[in-house]
Amino acid sequence: MENLVVWTLYFFSFYAFLPAFISRTFGFRVFKKGLVKKEIALTFDDGPDAVYTPKLLELLARYDAKATFFIVGAHGEAQPELLRKIHEEGHTLGIHNYVHKTNWFMRPRSVKRQIERTCEIIREATGSRSNYYRPPWGIINVFDFAGIGHLQIVLWSSMFGDWNKRLGAERLKRKMLKKLRPGEVLLLHDCGQTPGAHHEAPANMLVALEAYLQEGSKQGYRFVAIEEMIKLTEQAKERQLSWWKKSLITLWLQYERLFHLLFHLKQVGEESPAFHYRTISYSGHPIELAEGGRLNKGDRVVELHFDNRKLSGIAAEAASPLAAGIRMLREVEAALPMLASQLAHDPEAVDAKAIYGVTMIHRGADRLGFEVFPLPSGLFARTTRIYLRLLMRVLTKKQRNAKSKERRKAIDPCMLLMPMSKIQAYQNTHAALLRASIGQEASLQSAPSAAGDSVPVKGSTSAV
């Protein structure tokens, strides 16, 4: 007996209630309401019905309204010509199971069969496949998310009990008019054959709907099928996101300025700098450098920061994080000679043993003379990783096709180190460039690139 109670509880929480709760609360794979200015989506369940559906189509046509019909497969199978008419008049057909049964009491395989059979009925009648599914009574079980394939689940933002004839057309109308608002997904019924419904209830619905369409049209609303509502909503969300991104970047650039002021960062070069730097004491684990000894705790190092204004400019133009990385490497390469010459004249940097930076993409940085070390694990590495990944996500364009694992590996933060002896060699390049610029206007931007154009490298020494 106890077992039965436990299993019943388990069944209801896992199989039925939990997914319903999750989908209703978070809108996961479920569309319920639009984010639009002047559109409303009318949806009709349980039909088609030989009496009421043709009347409904005539009413919708008069108001140039497009709607979505979630049909019961068995009803559609009996009247394919009606399905064709719905489709030909520009409305959308969705699936509402083959018989009007709740998914809670069906095995996942049965739900799948119900959906597939109805999908096939629609395809045979209209020639096109349905992309939308509304489970009876809006009840979803955990397997619906896994088993419905390409289908988008559509629920609703408002329903009115229009299946109850006693509600009356007048009261239904008043309830509906309260929901004359953009983005609403109205649930109505063009068929009263479902258990619990009254078979004549759709007659009231038609009266109330006419008033609703009349008032809505007067106020400039457009009645659209569900795919248009979903599309407009996605566009609006995208716009919101890009607004957020812009604000975030502005905020972050201001934070950087503050950071530079507080920690006395020096900029490399005069206009549009690629780097900033400061001299600090090294505080990590001792590190053996390939050429030129060992870096111990307390040794002076020059900490590099890539200029974030430049970084965001590059990232906004680049097609991918990798492309942004290659551009940044070139900037680094072009700025290194200038950094070398500046360090040679900076009294604070006299006793520095190495230059040091934390970067996301490090492949190929060795060709510039950097040694690459993994970031020692710990809180710093973890927060740096989160910060840099977030940064790349905000800055660069969405990459739908990139394999996320590969991409993540490519932007794993590392520590770059270059012994002072090496950076001093860059100073000669700088002197040579200065000589070359006499007589002709050679800028550092067009400096000859030793590493070539095809280096797949990211050298974003970032502020951390």
| Site for Zn ion, rule CB under 5 A | 45-46, 136
With b for 16 or more beta-carbon neighbours within 10 A and e for fewer, the 296-315 pattern comes to eeebbbbbbbbbbebbbebb
Distance of CA 323 to the CA centre of its chain: 21
* Least distance (Å) between residue 196 CB and Zn ion: 9
| CA separation, residue 15 to residues 8, 18, 132, 143, 150 (Å) | 10, 7, 22, 8, 21
User: Which residue type, as a one-letter code, is found at position 6?
Assistant: V
Considering the complex, state which of residue 83 and residue 326 has its C-beta at the smaller distance from Zn ion.
Answer: 83
d(CA 91, CA 118): 17
Considering the complex, state which of residue 45 and residue 303 has its C-beta at the smaller distance from Zn ion: 45
Contact 384, 358 (CB under 8 A): yes
- Cα(first)–Cα(last) distance of the chain, in Å? 60
CB of 100 to Zn ion, least distance (A): 6
Indicate the residue among 135 and 325 with the shorter CB distance to Zn ion. 135
Give whichever of 204 and 341 is closer to Zn ion, judged by the CB atom. 204
Active-site annotation holder among 87, 189, 305, 362: 189
In the complex, what is the shortest distance from the CB of residue 156 to Zn ion, in angstroms, rounded to a whole number?
11
For residue 93, the minimal CB distance to Zn ion (Å) is 15
**Minimum separation from the CB atom of position 138 to Zn ion (A):** 9
- 189 is known as an active-site residue: yes
Q: How far is the CB of 72 from Zn ion (least distance, A)?
A: 7
Closest CB to Zn ion among residues 138, 419: 138
**Nearest to Zn ion of 196, 439 (CB atom):** 196
Query: Residue 447 carries which side chain, given as an amino acid letter?
Result: A
Tell me the catalytic residues: 45, 189
